[in-house]
Structure 1
Amino acid sequence: ADLNPELTGDLLTETSERIVKKHIREFLNNITQHVRTMPDNAQDPAVMICYRECLSNLEKFNGIGEQKAVQFINNIERIGKMIDANNNILCCMCTAKLDGEAKPWYENNMALTQWKNLKSAFLERFTTADASSRIFEQLKECKQKPDEIVTSYYDAIIKLCHEYDTNMSEKMMI
């Protein structure tokens, strides 16, 4: 005896399956179109794994105590370079990693949607004059140790220069 498909649920299943397959095709089509607009290295699974790992391991910035704002921003930009992140992505990466005092600060400054503006305001707010003075003193007192190779000394100077002023020109550093 043939049973009515409506009574067995087969009709519902077949209809649902067709609808689900249609939605999956549309979804995959949209993803394919989106993926084509992404940078080449963001499509590389190994690069994306590395990017996700680095971002998830990046400590949240809370804005309290000795946590270094400049180092945090440099890490965001370094991780963003892996996937050629645009300004919107850099903003998202940065704000997703804010916690403590830094989180409400951003919530009160959500108009900062451009990376250069967010970065500038962030550094102005979370870099203390005391920390800048300390870095400047380290820079003035920095001398090459007798057993230190030139490249290590050079790298240390460049790092201090970037910590003191992220926009310092190469000419000024040397």
Structure 2
Amino acid sequence: MELVPFYNGDPETLSDWLRDTGAFFAKECVSDAHQVFAIRFLLTQQALDIYNAHEDLIHNFNDLRKLLLHAAGKAPLRTLASLDSISNLTLSMAQPTANSTHLDPNLTTTTSLPTTSITFTQSADDLTQNEYRKSIITQFREDKSLKFSGEHKQDVIKWLEKLELKFQIAEISDVKKFDYLTELLEKGALNWFIERKSSLNRSWPDFVEQFKTVYDSPNRSQLAFQKLQYYHQSADQDIRSFCSVMRKLCKEYDPDMSKKMRLDFLLRSVNPTYRPEILKLKPTDAAEFEQIALDVENTFLTLNAYETYTPSTMTTYTSLPPSGYNYPATQQSPASNYDYYRRQNNFRSTQRPSSNTTSHQFTSSPKHHQGSPQSSKYNPSQSPRQHNLFAYTPATPET
């Protein structure tokens, strides 16, 4: 970068600066991705302000060239259609006049010529896409998870899939993908790419094929087959997740696997509870299997929901009242209560050993059998629990 001069926005030196900078990038084979990072360090003062105003839309040195030429008023009008880096550009120019009607500039006139305004506007979708592209390009430089060095612990297939997804979101063409590889590769993988860069002819499919051959595990197919043999849907795994895992394993084992073999692996590994219902509907391929399995899964989930919540609804009619519930008092007379306690205490007394072998004969008072009103009244002070049951007083015979 020391060989490239700085540019401060002076229109007089613009052409020389563009020529020298373009020659430097071409000589050093600087890719578009690196050009974007280098440009910001070469501009100062007014030129840097112009760059900052359109930074989101500048993807290479050519975009910057067009922008600076238009800002200096040196770019021809025909290049405006190909300008990608300006979202809003307004040009004002005087209406052209023929020589036959050209007026002497020394003459004074009060008539002003109308001006023509040309406005170029990018849509909001284009601006949003440019934001996505800028964000992803920044990730290529800063996100360590996107780097590939060729170590054994790294999975080249997963890395390429993740990278392809980023390229797809940013709408980066296959030719442009090549320019970002030097940012994404490191260590041994970067050395391998630099040595073979010229022979790849900037072909992304050729790079992917050769890169897989070098860095993919030779035992991937055998390992995938072993996983297919022993893989089963877990209890907490839904059908969509299960089918996604099975698709990846089948692809790793054999990208050209037949429909019948894929279906056999799916039926063998699916939840045994679902298998009979799926077999009844006779799926013919993996796609049909997934749709049927989803319907069966939803049916089972619905039935489980009914079985779970229906009993709790029924218990509202059969369960006991809460502990604080006031039970209605039992309609019993005090005499019946007394009779209950008397029987209980008599039962306990028969189990006690007698204190002596002599039994006392006694007769109860006849009043006890007369059914007097007082006999039905319960007196707590006379409760059998508060008397010695063995201390009897013989009744005095009536005279």
Q: What TM-score results when the alignment is normalised by the length of structure 2?
A: 0.33
Q: Please state if 1:141 is matched with 2:230.
A: yes
Displacement after TM superposition at 1:78 (Å): 0.5
Counterpart of 2:177, as a letter, is L
User: C-alpha separation between the residues in 1 aligned to 2:257 and 2:156?
Assistant: 20
Question: Compared with structure 1, are the counterparts of its residues 147 and 119 closer, same or farther at alpha carbon in structure 2 (3 Å cutoff)?
Answer: same
1:87-166 equivalent positions in 2, closer than 5 A = 87-110=174-197, 111-112=199-200, 113-164=202-253
Deviations along 1:76-119, one digit per CA (max 9) or x if unpaired, are: 11000012221112223334311122112112211112111100
Q: Structure 1 unaligned runs (5+)? A: 1-15
Question: Compared with structure 1, are the counterparts of its residues 75 and 106 closer, same or farther at alpha carbon in structure 2 (3 Å cutoff)?
Answer: same
RMSD: 3.4
Q: Please state if 1:46 is matched with 2:136.
A: no
Asked if the contact 1:47/1:82 (under 8 Å) is kept, the reply is yes
- Is the partner of 2:196 in helix, strand or coil? coil
1:70 to 153, 157, 165: 157
Asked if the contact 2:228/2:250 (under 8 Å) is kept, the reply is yes
User: C-alpha separation between the residues in 2 aligned to 1:31 and 1:137?
Assistant: 60
156-165 vs 123-132, greater mean Cα deviation? 156-165
Match of 1:17 in 2: 10
User: C-alpha separation between the residues in 2 aligned to 1:75 and 1:49?
Assistant: 17
Deviations along 1:42-72, one digit per CA (max 9) or x if unpaired, are: 6524322442354342431111112001011
Displacement after TM superposition at 1:127 (Å): 0.5
Asked if the contact 1:135/1:163 (under 8 Å) is kept, the reply is yes
17-26 vs 150-159, greater mean Cα deviation? 17-26
64-73 vs 152-161, greater mean Cα deviation? 152-161
Question: Compared with structure 1, are the counterparts of its residues 42 and 75 closer, same or farther at alpha carbon in structure 2 (3 Å cutoff)?
Answer: farther
Deviations along 1:116-167, one digit per CA (max 9) or x if unpaired, are: 11000000110011234223322332211122110111122223345556x6
User: C-alpha separation between the residues in 1 aligned to 2:213 and 2:126?
Assistant: 31
Match of 2:167 in 1: 80
Match of 1:13 in 2: none
80-89 vs 152-161, greater mean Cα deviation? 152-161
Counterpart of 1:104, as a letter, is N
User: C-alpha separation between the residues in 2 aligned to 1:46 and 1:128?
Assistant: 37
17-26 vs 42-51, greater mean Cα deviation? 17-26
- Is the partner of 1:129 in helix, strand or coil? coil
1:33 to 82, 87, 91: 82
Match of 2:51 in 1: none
Give the total of aligned pairs: 155
Q: What TM-score results when the alignment is normalised by the length of structure 1?
A: 0.70
Counterpart of 1:19, as a letter, is E
Deviations along 1:12-51, one digit per CA (max 9) or x if unpaired, are: xxxx834267876953057972528xxx866524322442
Higher relative contact order (CA 8 A, sep 6+): 1
Greater gyration radius: 2
User: C-alpha separation between the residues in 2 aligned to 1:96 and 1:149?
Assistant: 39
Question: Compared with structure 1, are the counterparts of its residues 155 and 109 closer, same or farther at alpha carbon in structure 2 (3 Å cutoff)?
Answer: same
Question: Compared with structure 1, are the counterparts of its residues 17 and 108 closer, same or farther at alpha carbon in structure 2 (3 Å cutoff)?
Answer: closer
- Is the partner of 1:106 in helix, strand or coil? helix
Counterpart of 1:46, as a letter, is E
97-106 vs 138-147, greater mean Cα deviation? 138-147
